[in-house]
């Protein structure tokens, strides 16, 4: 609508001077706008409501009306771009740049600078190109962008630092008894929820019980829980496990284990459970989310007063780049690795020997690709040792599923895999998957699934977490196989003495052709000292929880 108003104003400015009054007839304006009399009246009313023209209608037959243009194109364009920046309509801005080029570019740079200064003055951060957020339920999401927001809105009983050390949080103390099968938590009495009510033991028990009985993507991680309750004698919340598990405590530090009350906050057509986190959600629609600092937070508060997460802005990359390297930032590598999960459809004509030859060929081709890309091969998860020709001769078609990756190196990875497989004579079709939570729906649509997933720290917990929650195995194994796998993992963990025991489980999946580990990767988290302002981010999102840790300053 704004670009239409600008076009109509431009048509007037091509015929009349700014600031001067003119007598005109409706016939004159019909010709200028190249439209009907009825539409002309609508256009005049629209421009008048914008305050861009003064209009005095004719009185009497044969009389002319009077028009005065009181807004220059610069002023009008400034108003439109400013409004869209404020409202988060970032995909609208390239239309101005295409239509008005240098004028729009000058205005946009000026407004970006003004917005940056205003945001910094008010401790506000706006991030563009943030991935879509469909649900904010800790127990039910597996999506990184949603997890980031959940980490800001909710708290966990315990927290883990970058070195893998556990720290108290909602629980000010905890203990492990009954031969490692009972965990007790003593709760901080000063925790307030975003609606001002105190967090109660009933809120925590209900939230944990819902997590442990949910059908979310992390359900296998919590199948070991026998019950949750309150021990009156010790005045503590307890969690009982079926079997000992020294790694269970780390699971309670994940965003999925966040405490969310059963009360809801309504935001337009959406609703979220009330939390206690350092930031609380005040706006959520298809265009953006707005998180505001929780002024009554019980722990170290957020550094920012407001964070705007806008989903738009991708097309601005063609015109602008505001991503300057901040030399005051710190970068911390996080372990990530890519895997290929295998579960061939019945219609695929590849034999067992053919599959073995294909996987071995991909495994060998990794060496060339790793040298080209400067990445490391995963070598300690097990190797395939089948004999194969230099280029196995295969026929048919296979379908590769993969996330809708935004980062360039990940898109290169899927291209490399496709080209490698096609060297064998197979035809390859790629199917982007928007929601990995729903991977079960793709069992009859794809044969291979390419994933890259984080390995949480410490590594022994990361391997355990990965074995029970990875999308790769949820795709590669059917329900009965996965349940058998889960029981075996829990049995190993109950008597865990060495990390190699967990690696051996992965090695078994490799030798059975359920998995093929590919490459180690790294995701770099930047903790910036100056975080307020306006950031156009190509990769879309950042770790929000880094923005309220005082020790990063």
pLDDT tens digit string along 347-382? Answer: 998 999 999 999 999 998 988 888 877 777 776 665
Residues 545 and 516 in one domain: no
Render pLDDT for 70-81 as a digit per residue (tens, 0 to 9): 999 999 999 998
Residues 174 and 37 in one domain: no
Q: Is the pTM here over 0.85, yes or no?
A: no
Render pLDDT for 512-528 as a digit per residue (tens, 0 to 9): 999 999 987 655 444 44
| Mean pLDDT across 340-345 | 96
pLDDT at residue 323 greater than cutoff 80: no
Residues 533 and 514 in one domain: no
> Is residue 127 included in any domain, yes or no?
no
Strand order in the sheet with 53-56: 21-24, 65-69, 53-56
Instruction: In whole angstroms, give the CA distance from residue 514 to residue 215.
Output: 23
> Is residue 138 included in any domain, yes or no?
no
| Mean pLDDT across 28-42 | 92
Nearest by Cα to 111 from 122, 119, 99? 119
> Is residue 539 included in any domain, yes or no?
yes
Alpha helices (H) along 34-126: 37-50, 73-87, 93-121
Residues 478 and 507 in one domain: yes
Q: Which domain holds residue 13?
A: 2-118
Residues 414 and 355 in one domain: yes
Residues 312 and 337 in one domain: no
Residue 248 backbone dihedrals phi, psi, to 5 degrees:
-60, -35
Beta strands of 393-491 (E only): which ranges?
397-403, 427-433, 448-454
Instruction: In whole angstroms, give the CA distance from residue 493 to residue 335.
Output: 22
Residues 257 and 339 in one domain: no
Residues 202 and 61 in one domain: no
CATH code for the domain of 50: 1.10.10.10
Q: H/E/C letters for each residue in 106-159?
A: HHHHHHHHHHHHHHHHCCEEEECCCCCCCCCCCCCCCCHHHHHHHHHHCECCEE
What's the domain count of the chain?
A: 3
Instruction: In whole angstroms, give the CA distance from residue 193 to residue 10.
Output: 52
pLDDT at residue 449 greater than cutoff 70: yes
Residues 474 and 516 in one domain: yes
Residue 418 pLDDT level (bands cut at 50, 70, 90): very high
The two structure tokens encoding residue 146: 């949603």
Nearest by Cα to 462 from 471, 472, 451, 454? 454
Residues 109 and 45 in one domain: yes
> Is residue 183 included in any domain, yes or no?
yes
Residue 509 pLDDT level (bands cut at 50, 70, 90): very high
Residues 477 and 451 in one domain: yes
CATH code for the domain of 339: 3.10.105.10
Render pLDDT for 155-166 as a digit per residue (tens, 0 to 9): 999 999 877 889
Render pLDDT for 242-290 as a digit per residue (tens, 0 to 9): 999 999 999 999 999 999 999 999 999 999 999 999 999 999 998 889 9
Percent of the chain exceeding pLDDT 90 equals 54
CATH code for the domain of 264: 3.40.190.10
Nearest by Cα to 373 from 250, 518, 161, 479? 518
Render pLDDT for 376-389 as a digit per residue (tens, 0 to 9): 777 666 566 655 55
Residues 71 and 220 in one domain: no
């Amino acid at each position: 609508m704004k670009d239409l108003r600008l076009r109509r104003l431009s048509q007037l400015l091509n015929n009349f001077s700014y600031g001067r009054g003119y007598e005109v007839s409706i016939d004159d304006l019909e010709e200028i706008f190249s439209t009907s009399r009825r539409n002309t009246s609508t256009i005049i009313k629209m421009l008048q409501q914008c305050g861009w023209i003064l209009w005095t209608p004719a009185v009497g037959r044969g009389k002319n009306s009077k028009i005065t243009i009181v807004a220059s194109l610069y002023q009008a364009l400034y108003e439109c771009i400013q409004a869209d920046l404020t409202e988060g309509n970032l995909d609208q801005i390239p239309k101005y740049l295409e239509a008005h080029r240098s004028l729009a570019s000058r205005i946009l740079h000026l407004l970006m600078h003004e917005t940056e200064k205003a945001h910094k003055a008010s401790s506000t951060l706006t991030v563009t190109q943030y991935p879509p957020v469909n649900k904010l339920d800790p127990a039910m999401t597996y999506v990184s962008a949603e997890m980031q927001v959940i980490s800001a809105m909710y708290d966990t009983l315990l927290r883990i630092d970058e070195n893998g050390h556990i720290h108290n949080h909602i629980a000010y103390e905890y203990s492990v008894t009954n031969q490692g099968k009972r965990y007790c938590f003593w709760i901080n009495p000063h925790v307030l929820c975003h609606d001002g009510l105190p967090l109660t033991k009933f809120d925590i028990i209900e939230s944990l019980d819902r997590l442990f009985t949910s059908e979310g993507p992390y359900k296998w991680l919590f199948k070991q829980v026998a019950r949750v309750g309150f021990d009156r004698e010790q005045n503590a919340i307890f969690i009982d496990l079926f079997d000992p598990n020294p790694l269970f405590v780390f699971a309670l530090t994940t965003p999925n284990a966040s405490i969310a009350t059963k009360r809801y906050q309504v935001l337009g057509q959406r609703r979220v459970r009330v939390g206690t986190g350092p930031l609380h959600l005040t706006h959520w629609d298809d265009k953006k989310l707005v998180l505001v600092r929780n002024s009554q937070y019980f722990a170290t508060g957020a550094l920012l007063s407001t964070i705007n997460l806008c989903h738009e802005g991708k097309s601005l990359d063609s015109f602008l780049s505001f991503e300057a390297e901040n030399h005051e930032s710190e970068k911390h590598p996080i372990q990530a690795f890519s895997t290929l999960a295998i579960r061939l459809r019945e219609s695929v004509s590849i034999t067992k020997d053919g599959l073995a030859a294909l996987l071995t060929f991909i495994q060998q081709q990794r060496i060339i690709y790793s040298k080209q890309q400067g990445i490391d091969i995963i070598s300690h998860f097990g190797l395939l040792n089948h004999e194969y020709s230099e280029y196995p001769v295969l026929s048919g078609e296979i379908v590769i599923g993969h996330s809708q990756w935004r980062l360039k190196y990940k898109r290169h990875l899927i291209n490399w895999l496709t080209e490698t497989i096609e060297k064998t004579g197979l035809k390859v079709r790629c199917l982007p998957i928007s929601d990995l939570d729903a991977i079960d729906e793709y069992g009859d649509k794809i044969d291979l699934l390419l994933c890259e997933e984080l390995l949480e720290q410490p590594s022994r917990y990361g391997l355990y977490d990965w074995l029970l929650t990875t999308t790769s195995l949820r795709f590669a194994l059917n329900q009965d196989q996965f349940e058998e796998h889960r029981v075996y993992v829990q049995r190993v963990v109950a008597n865990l003495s060495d990390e190699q025991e967990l690696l051996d489980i992965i090695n078994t999946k490799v030798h059975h052709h359920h998995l093929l580990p590919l490459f180690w990767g790294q995701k770099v988290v930047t903790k910036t000292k100056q975080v307020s302002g306006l950031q156009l981010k190509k990769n879309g999102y950042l770790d929000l929880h880094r923005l309220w840790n005082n020790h990063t300053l």
